[in-house]
Structure 1
Amino acid sequence: MNLKKLSSHIRGWSLARQMLALQIVVVGVTVAGGATLAFLQAGDLLRDEAAGTARAVAVSVADSPSVLAAMGDSAVLQPYAERVRRETGVDFVTIMGVDGVRYTHPNPAQIGHRFLGTIAPALAGRTFTETYTGTLGPSVRAVAPVRDARGRVTGLVSAGITIDRISARLREQIAGAALIGVLGLSVGGAGTYLVGSRLRRQTHGMGPAELSRMYEYHDAILHAVREGLLLVDPSGTVTLCNDGARELLGLDGEVAGRRITALGLPASLAERLSTGENRTDEIHMTGERTLVVNAAVVRSGSRSLGTVVTLRDHTELQSLAGQLDAERGFADSLRAAAHEAANRLHTVIALVELGRTEQAVAFATEEIRAAQRLTDRVVDAVREPVLAALLLGKSAEAGERGVELVITPDSGLDDIGLDSRDLVTILGNLIDNAVDAAMTGAPPARVEVRLRVDETAFLISVADSGPGLDPATAGEAFRRGWTTKGDGRGLGLAMVGQAVRRLGGTIDVGPPAGTAGPGIGETGTGAVFTVRLPLRGKEGS
């Protein structure tokens, strides 16, 4: 039960605290394991060193001519053995006969007694080492044979170091190793604390469960929200892109880690997003969408952490706004027509009151015929009701502004099955721009519209009598913000280009002033905009 409580208590710690405890345990186990391994290795090394020293001393003494000459004489051999023992640092040097009787020993009382240990290999002429418990306790010892001139074994020499002495040396080394281990543990603990402090700051003291829930919520929100969301770091690299942004921007593949300028976005949008500046409700055009872009720079003190970019699809709203503008245009045209009709009615009434009835009838009849001719001309040429209504409204609006709007004689159009909203956007904005251009040119101001269908496409051509477009800048006409007025707010032609791309069509600007082809551009000046839209089901015919 106590273990369960402890486990539950630990799970309640922050991630940084758990990592600190885990790292301290890891460092402690590592240091303890290293110290244990060093202790074992040191013990083996000291035993090997003791065996090597004992062997070297035993062989040296056994090869000494003075030992061979004095073999059996304890009075001579004992002082010699003790001097060698003191000088070499071994614990005993024992010289004995082939029967194992000692001639020397650190304890003189042991002289004359039999040697405790193995001597058979030495009697056979082989030097060997072993660990054996003798009169001085357990020791690592070596036994070497003493040979005469004929090579016969005439005695034995044993040298050794006690285990107690080896253990004492090992304890000295353990003390040093323990000190190094404590220092290593202290350094590791300090480093672990610093890492834990940094992790605590970065995780805001939250635990693993809280971080896991936050990630799950974060991931769910990113996938659920319809608006596009981008996170761009100060260097202009995308660090996060949700599904909405992928769809709105038409992005494929991995986006995170790529530069914002390498995503294939329109130049104006990429430039605005990479500047690291705040943006509020800016309108930007992509291939098929109109987007509302907001950007907010996130700061920590004076340091920029990056930019949060939100994207909203404004395409449908922009289309509805275009339709609303068209409806307003129709309403303005009707008001203008009503105003003009009222003036003409007053004229007719005044002629009747003056008794000039025949002139009143002739005046009224001619006005009715003129209006009817315009209506018949538009309706006969354009049987698409939405475009016919648009042309009638634009004709009245252009007339009110002093511009003659002409539908070329070779125009003809039935219901073509294309999206009427896109057609209104394309034709309405082209006529509006043409009227504005014609008003800036030499009189008479004139706009010509040609609508026709060939085997595979619907063609729209709009020409004006304005000053025309510089061929060098004609390609920029469909960029958002381009305008001949110089106010940077041009949107109409950008919407035209977007609608044409959405319908899979193309748009051309030309020919230069005075080179227009037959049937369109007969004004001889100005620009000609020609749109070609493929008919549904006939693109590949």
Structure 2
Amino acid sequence: MRPRFTLAGQFLALQLAIVVAVLLAVVGVSVAQADAQFRRVEGQAMLSVAESAAAMEAVRAGLSDSDQQGILQPTAESLRSLSDADHLIITGTDRRMLSSVDPREIGEVMDFGESSVLSGNTWIGVVRIGEKRVLAAHVPVIDDEGRIIGVAAAGRDYPGPVGQLATAAPTLLVYVGIASLLGVVGSLLLSRRIKRQTLGLEPGEITRLAEDRTAMLHGIKEGVLGLDQGDRVTLVNDKAAELLDLPGDAAGRTLDELGVAPDIRGVLTDEEQEPDRVVLMGDRLVTLNSMPLNRDGRNVGSVTTMRDRTDLARLQQELDLTRTTTEALRAQAHEFSNQIHVITGLLELEEYDEAARYVSTIGGARTRLSDDVTSRVADSSVAALLIAKASLAAEQDVALRVSENTELGSQDAELSADLVTVVGNLVDNALDAVRGQAEPWVEVELAGSDGAVRVRVRDSGRGVPPELVPKVFLRGFSTKGAERVYRGVGLALVHLVCSRRGGSVEVNGAEFTASLPSEASRRPPPG
């Protein structure tokens, strides 16, 4: 198993790597500087030696007269020894060496490199003599008539990298010691500071913690949104981004910059958070729970969880509808049971005429109610709902009546289901509002016009105060007590259904008006 370094070890290794890199750069610069200094100083020195050799009468005489060439070798070696040069070579214009440190090289052609000395110019540069690189200075030898008769070349052996490093070694050792000491001390201090800030966790542990948190954050079905003090998003998972319609780069941006609706933004940033607060987000019904984050007694933000309750709310409404129908049937059964007892008693008393009159009376009332609803409402689902609600209202001593302006034809299955949801919730809300009043009543009006169905439900209650109207649908408003877990779901669901169909719902005191466009009116125009 590969050993893992601690945070201090990693910082130390990093600092040492930086120190080594800096030292390598220093070495490179030092070598370059040493090389430049060597070329400048030794080049001038060798140029002086070569100029001295070119000015000697013995050298001129040896180059002018072939019989006197023998004087060149001792003369050059004598001058070389006095000047401490490594090389002093005399050549003719044919570049053949007439003197050399190594007598075996006499007569060989000298490599002039890029020298322009035969053109009458002095030159300093690097040439190769045998196997050695030499810093050489070339000076032309000129006779009394101004002709170039040869070349005097003085040279110093070029030191290699080891020699240059040896020259710079004392300075480099000082640099290494100081840099290493500073690197070790700095690494230890930095490691201690960072470990205090990371609660003693090592980098690998922080990485695993972050990976686990990311996997958990994006794996849960609930939305999670984190905000700081400036309402800036610190974390958001996929579900929260979907519900709030946030872009992929939402982290680090404020809710204003992300275009979050003002009512939703107000709920997310409200300091006094209620548990299980119901909010409409687009076409979804969402329950929010927010928890403040405190650090050292200071509020540094909040984390909000979001649960999509749309499907659950629909199921709840379907169950409420089933319960309403059951209660209506139970009320009717109770009523029919009493009526049967009355009829049975009249028959036992042989009051046949009274029994016939009683049957006619109760049958006519039931028939008139059914006929009144079915004659105005052709949609069977909505008509059945109104009849069931009328029986439930009668059991609560509430008069439920259908407005004379009601006229509704058959609707498609989707609109019929939405009408059942809207009418059922508005009627239930009205029945709750008039409970306990003297002579309470609820009136329902249904009418289809201009490609939409208008639902109007009003009651004898006190209505919604004007200051609460903006909150009725936006935040799941309810006038009921706090004993219900999902407060205000009914009205929020009405708003959700209407909004999804492109309609609207409004409240004016004790009157709720909803508009639901038909499917045909919602289709885009052709072409």
TM category (shorter chain) comes to: 0.5 to 0.7
Note the C-alpha offset of 1:319: 0.9
Of 302, 315, 322, the residue aligned with 2:310 is: 315
Distance (Å, rounded) in 1 between the aligned partners of 2:353 and 2:204: 98
Partner in structure 2 of residue 26 of structure 1: 17
Tell me how far apart the structure 1 counterparts of residues 501 and 7 of structure 2 sit (CA, whole Å): 56
Tell me how far apart the structure 1 counterparts of residues 319 and 481 of structure 2 sit (CA, whole Å): 25
Measure how far apart 1:361 and its partner are.
3.0
Q: CA deviation at 1:46?
A: 4.8
Cα displacement (A) at 1:303: 7.3
Q: Which residue, out of 451, 458, 477, partners 1:456?
A: 451
- Is residue 226–residue 303 contact of structure 2 (8 Å, CA) maintained in 1? yes
Partner of 1:178: 173
Match of 2:488 in 1: 490
Q: TM-score, normalised by structure 1?
A: 0.65
Q: Distance in 1 between matches of 2:19 and 2:518?
A: 76
Alignment of 1:236-275 (within 5 A): 236-252=231-247, 254-260=249-255, 262-265=257-260, 267=262, 269-274=264-269
Give, in angstroms, the shift of residue 395 of structure 1: 1.0
Residue identity in the other structure for 2:451: T
Provide the C-alpha distance between the structure 1 equivalents of 2:274 and 2:402, rounded to a whole number of angstroms: 43
Question: 1:475 and 1:229, CA in 2 relative to 1: closer, same or farther beyond 3 A?
Answer: closer
1:507 is aligned to 505
* 3-state secondary structure, aligned to 1:477: helix
Shift of 1:251: 3.6
SS at match of 2:397: coil
Distance 1:129 1:280 in 2: 90
Aligned pairs for 1:408-427 (under 5 A) are: 408-409=403-404, 410-418=406-414, 420-427=416-423
The CA deviation string for residues 374-430 of structure 1, in whole angstroms up to 9 with x for no partner, is: 122223333433322221121122223332211123423313322555333211121
Task: Tell me: CA distance 1:53–1:263, structure 2 relative to 1, closer, same or farther (3 Å).
Answer: closer
Q: Which amino acid aligns with 2:288?
A: V
Distance in 1, matches of 2:36 and 2:471, equals 85
Candidates 429, 446, 450, aligned match of 1:433: 429
1:361-400 map, 5 Å: 361-400=356-395
Q: How far has the Cα of 1:51 moved from its partner?
A: 5.8
Q: Which residue of 2 aligns with 1:529?
A: 513
> Hey, what does 2:148 align to over in structure 1?
none
Secondary structure, counterpart of 1:418 in structure 2: helix
Selected match of 2:279 from 279, 284, 287: 284
Q: Aligned-pair distance for 1:478?
A: 1.6
3-state SS, counterpart of residue 225 of structure 2 = strand
Distance 1:540 1:142 in 2: 93
TM-score (norm 2): 0.67
**Local SS of the residue matching 2:474:** coil
Does the residue aligned with 1:478 lie in a helix, a strand or coil?
helix
Structure 2 counterpart of 1:39, one-letter code: S
Q: How many residues align?
A: 472
Deviates more, 1:222-231 or 1:296-305: 296-305
Residue 440 of structure 1 and its aligned partner are, at CA, apart by 7.8
In the alignment, does 2:31 pair up with 1:40?
A: yes
Q: Provide closer, same or farther for how the CA distance between residues 212 and 477 of structure 1 changes in structure 2, counting only shifts above 3 A.
A: closer
Change (3 A) 1:266 1:439: farther
Would the aligned equivalents of 1:232 and 1:240 in 2 still touch at CA under 8 Å?
yes
Amino acid at match of 1:413: G
Structure 2 contact 278–489 (Cα < 8 Å) conserved: no
Comparing 325-334 and 246-255, the one that deviates more: 246-255
1:336 maps to 2:331 = yes
For residue 107 of structure 2, what is the aligned residue in structure 1?
none
Q: 1:205 aligns with which of 197, 202, 212?
A: 202
One-letter code aligned to 2:14: Q
Asked if structure 2 preserves the Cα contact closer than 8 Å seen for 1:381 and 1:411, the reply is yes
Q: Can you list the C-alpha shifts for 1:50-99, whole angstroms capped at 9, x where unaligned?
A: 569979x99xxxxxxxxxxxxxxxxxxxxxxxxxxxxxxxxxxxxxxxxx
Equivalent in the alignment of 2:222: 227
Please name the residue that 1:66 is paired with: none
Q: Secondary structure at the match of 2:506?
A: strand
- Asked if 2 retains the 8 angstrom alpha-carbon contact of 1:234 and 1:305, the reply is yes
Higher mean alpha-carbon deviation, 194-203 vs 356-365, is at 194-203
Letter in 1 for 2:241: R
Post-superposition CA distance 1:238-275 (Å, at most 9, x none)? 23333333333344453222224554555554344335
Other structure's SS at 1:259 match: coil
- Shift of the 38–196 alpha-carbon distance from structure 1 to 2, 3 Å rule, reads same
> 1:278/1:199 Cα in 2 relative to 1: closer, same or farther (>3 Å)?
farther
Distance 1:483 1:398 in 2: 20
Residue identity matched to 1:535:
E
Q: Secondary structure at the match of 2:414?
A: coil
| Runs of 5+ consecutive residues of structure 2 not aligned to the other structure | 50-73, 92-119, 127-134, 140-155
**1:130–1:142 contact (8 Å) kept in structure 2:** yes
Fraction of identical pairs, as percent: 28
Inter-CA distance 128–247: structure 2 relative to 1 (3 Å threshold): closer
Cα 1:338–1:50 change in 2 (3 A) is same
Correspondence list, 1:148-163, <5 A: none
- Contact 1:286-1:498 within 8 A present in 2 as well: no
